[in-house]
Amino acid sequence: MAQKSIEQTRNSGTDLNIDWINAQQANTSAIERRASSLGARRSVKKHYQTAWLLKAITCIDLTTLSGDDTAERVKRLCDKAKQPVRANIIEALGLDNIAVGAVCVYHDMVETAVERLAGSGIPVAAVSTGFPAGLSPLRLRILEIEESVKAGAREIDIVISRRHVLNQNWQALYDEVQAFRQACGPAHMKAILATGELGSLRNVARASMVAMMAGADFIKTSTGKESVNATLPVSLVMVRAIRNFYEETGQYVGYKPAGGISKAKDALTYLSLIKEELGHPWLNNDMFRFGASSLLGDIERQLEHHVTGAYSATYRHALA
């Protein structure tokens, strides 16, 4: 596979291919062995670790998806997105400021986030289509996408109907995701599969393939609201589906693990997975994102340790 940096283009999708979907299998024991080997390896250290952690920050979708979100909270989160690491740490590392990959909010907060991030180049992502359950009427889910794009969202995180996967109704899933993709217009679409509710790794592989066939620009593990969110076995299945799709079509699709990724060492493990399974073209925020909030605080804490030699209290690295 080509090992070069690319600029993401839209996934134009393909026709639905049932034979290709049914050919997707998952050897659970082999997948679990491979996944367990990733976390068991010695981590990168010192300057290399710092470089990888800085890369991880640029791939974070800094997220707030709470029922008590307020405009002021979202504004503070946007300010953190623009300067995710304290200035004294960045200066000690001899770097210019860096920024996160995006800020992810509910539709009601899109305009607030867009206004606060104006001029920063950081896109706003909106969760949509009846997030997190995805059970509202289809016309309303499509309208929600259109309204978020109109409000300024440049990325839309949609949720699929899990019942289509559980019933193996691939045509219905394809038609749904394709309709969402059309509604997104110029905005990039991330398809959330809610993998913890799909029943098996084989279903994860097949749902991943259908979503990509229907035009998803990213496939994403979870809403963060399920009882089981991103895991390494699920991630391995999804990134291999991405590789398979690329090898068959030549089209790039991004990957976003979300939910439960809160430690810097977890970020390093996921970046290693992407490097080994997909290669350098995916090691940038055009093609890879973390759906996370608390992850940034732990990474900043590790960077301060690298600079000072001491760990600071967690409260010194608040998000908002």
Domain that holds residue 142: 18-317
Looking at 61, 80, 190, 256, which residue is catalytic? 256
- What type of residue sits at position 16? L
Per-residue model confidence (pLDDT) at position 42: 60
**167 torsion bin: left (phi>0), alpha (psi -120 to 50), beta (else):** alpha
Work out the angle between the directed axes of helices 264-277 and 28-40 (0-180°, nearest 10).
120
pTM (2 d.p.):
0.93
Per-residue model confidence (pLDDT) at position 266: 93
Looking at 220, 266, 286, 298, which residue is catalytic? 220
Asked whether residue 5 is domain-assigned, the answer is: no
Per-residue model confidence (pLDDT) at position 303: 93
User: How many domains does the chain divide into?
Assistant: 1
Asked whether residue 153 is domain-assigned, the answer is: yes
Asked whether residue 103 is domain-assigned, the answer is: yes
Helices assigned H by DSSP within the chain: 18-22, 28-40, 46-58, 71-82, 87-92, 110-116, 138-150, 162-166, 170-184, 201-213, 232-249, 264-277, 294-308
Per-residue model confidence (pLDDT) at position 223: 95
Measure the CA–CA gap between 222 and 308, rounded to whole angstroms: 36
Per-residue model confidence (pLDDT) at position 1: 37
CATH code of the domain in which 290 resides:
3.20.20.70
Looking at 61, 80, 157, 286, which residue is catalytic? 157
CB atoms within 10 A of CB 224: 23
Known catalytic membership, residue 55: no
Measure the CA–CA gap between 246 and 224, rounded to whole angstroms: 27
Asked whether residue 70 is domain-assigned, the answer is: yes
Asked whether residue 7 is domain-assigned, the answer is: no
Known catalytic membership, residue 157: yes
Asked whether residue 64 is domain-assigned, the answer is: yes
Per-residue model confidence (pLDDT) at position 46: 74
Per-residue model confidence (pLDDT) at position 285: 95
> Taking the chain (320 residues) in consecutive chunks of 10 residues, what is each chunk's mean pLDDT?
49 97 95 87 78 96 95 97 94 92 97 98 97 96 98 98 98 98 97 97 98 98 92 97 97 95 93 95 96 91 86 62
Per-residue model confidence (pLDDT) at position 313: 61
Asked whether residue 179 is domain-assigned, the answer is: yes
